[in-house]
Structure 1
Amino acid sequence: MGYDSSATRARLLKAAHDEFVAHGLAGARVERIAKNAPANKQAIYAYYGSKDDLFDAVLEDRIRILADVVPFTPDDLAAYAGALFDAFINDPDLIRLTQWKTLERPDASAAELEAHLTKAQAVADAHGTDLETGMDALMIALAAAQAWLFTPPPIRNPAGADEDARLKRHRAAVIASVEALAGRLLPAK
């Protein structure tokens, strides 16, 4: 049986995802990624160039996965924010990876910029406004989808609280906040 480079790449990407979620970019170790792949450490450098480039590849992969899981609805940003909230609840690693990225690399990557610009233009087109307003509205939706995930522990789940009820309440708050805030920016249809 011959060597399957696509399988090795996929294993490396999965192991890198898990490593970056657990330790961030700075704390991640190439040796652990290779061991958990399992693959030769040199394969990381051959396929991805560096640990930083591998981190970028993991982020790009997650952006593609998120785009498949959460269809973008430029004409209904509140529904999009609610769907993002659901995706983050269902995949806590995604939000953790995003947090690491924000802490260690606050500037947007080329893939993030492209995704945001494309979506912001779609918002602008759907609402008959300019790109900057579309971007502002999009950022409100993205921020709202994440905001209630970080509710402090005493408020998050007080003794005897129903977790499903809390999530429904927070999801409703995400949707209402996007309707109110983005709605003020975007022209009425």
Structure 2
Amino acid sequence: MPRDATPAKKRILAAAVAEFAEHGISGARIDRIATRAEANKRAIYDHFGDKRELFGIVLADQLDRLAGEVELHADRIPEFVGELFDYCAAHPELVRLVQWEALSLPANQAPNHARRSASYQAKVDAITEAQRRGHIDPGLDPRRILLLLIGMAEWTLYVPQLATMIAGEPTNTPEQRTDHRAFLVALAQQLLQPRNHPEP
């Protein structure tokens, strides 16, 4: 949430999160956001711009919240997967916003593209540092490692129907999520650990 957000702006952003998560960019309506927020429709345009600009602000705010809660450290790479899974499971609106972004916009037109790319680069750098310290196999591409970790953490949340078909039971119960989280962390640890390469 922007630090200078007034109560009215906070209500508008909260209403916009719900609206965009439910309807996406093209399906969202400013008048519904205004009604949910008990705000003036004109004020939304004045403070946040058009609908696409508002979506970008909403998504950036949600991603900032994620970044403030889940960090990737060089000495805790596998744990990052579990913490990211926990956060996204607890914030399904973020999962839906990212899905709508992928469905609605070309990759190079994603809101805050440069800023978000820099944030991901910092995570790639942390993985590179983990490789330097001997925590992760140095032969693996750190960029693809990050893609793998994020995919592992979020995949069952993005396609719960597929997860349920494969598992044979709902995967969103507390017990299933606890088991899946433990599996993700253990798997990340095993996949990324340095391999002992025999001398030629």
Range into which the TM-score falls when normalised by the shorter chain? 0.7 to 0.9
> Residues 78 and 185 of structure 2 are in contact (CA less than 8 Å); yes or no, is this contact kept in structure 1?
yes
CA displacement 1:47-95 (0-9 Å, x = unmatched) = 1221111111111101111112223323322100110111122222221
Please show how residues 73-152 of structure 1 align to structure 2 within 5 Å: 73-107=73-107, 108-109=110-111, 110=113, 111-128=115-132, 133-149=141-157, 150-151=159-160, 152=162
Alpha carbons of structure 1 residues 128 and 164: separation in structure 2 relative to 1, 3 Å: same
Contact 2:16 2:33 in 1 (8 A): yes
Q: Which moved more, 1:81-90 or 1:101-110?
A: 101-110
Instruction: In structure 2, give the amino acid aligned to 1:141.
Output: L
Measured in 2, the distance between the counterparts of 1:155 and 1:73 equals 32
Match of 1:166 among 158, 176, 187: 176
User: How far, CA to CA, are the matches of 1:95 and 1:86 in structure 2?
Assistant: 12
Give the equivalent residue in structure 2 for 1:37: 37
When residues 115 and 46 of structure 1 are mapped into structure 2, their CA distance, relative to the original with a 3 A threshold, is same
Structure 1 vs Structure 2: percent identity of aligned residues?
32
Residue of structure 2 equivalent to 1:48? 48
**TM-score for both structures, normalised by structure 2:** 0.76
Cα distance in 2 between the residues matched to 1:162 and 1:53: 33
SS in 1 for 2:73: coil
Conserved in 2, the CA contact under 8 Å of 1:19 and 1:28?
yes
After the TM superposition, which segments of 4 or more aligned residues of structure 1 sit over 6 Å from their partners?
Answer: none
Q: What corresponds to 1:70 in structure 2? A: 70
User: Per-residue CA shift, 1:138-185, capped at 9, x if unaligned?
Assistant: 1111111111323433445638x9933321222133223433444479
Mapped to 1, the partners of 2:176 and 2:129 lie a distance apart of 35
CA gap of 1:68–1:28, structure 2 versus 1, over 3 A, is same
Residue correspondences, number: 180
Shift, 1:19, TM fit: 0.3
Q: With the length of structure 1 as denominator, give the TM-score of the two structures.
A: 0.80
Counterpart code for 1:24 = G
CA contact (8 A) 1:85 1:171 kept: yes
Does the Cα contact within 8 Å between 2:78 and 2:189 map onto a contact in 1? yes
Q: In 1, Cα distance between the equivalents of 2:21 and 2:142? A: 30
C-alpha separation between the residues in 1 aligned to 2:14 and 2:155?
Answer: 27
Q: Any unmatched runs of 5+ in structure 1?
A: none
Over 3 Å counting, the alpha-carbon distance change for 1:184 and 1:92 in structure 2 is farther
C-alpha distance in structure 1 between counterparts of 2:33 and 2:88, whole Å? 24
Q: 1:101 to 1:184 in 2, by over 3 A?
A: farther
Mapped partners of 1:38, 1:172: distance in 2: 43
What are structure 2's unaligned runs of at least 5 residues? 196-200
Separation of aligned partners in 2, 1:163 and 1:8? 35
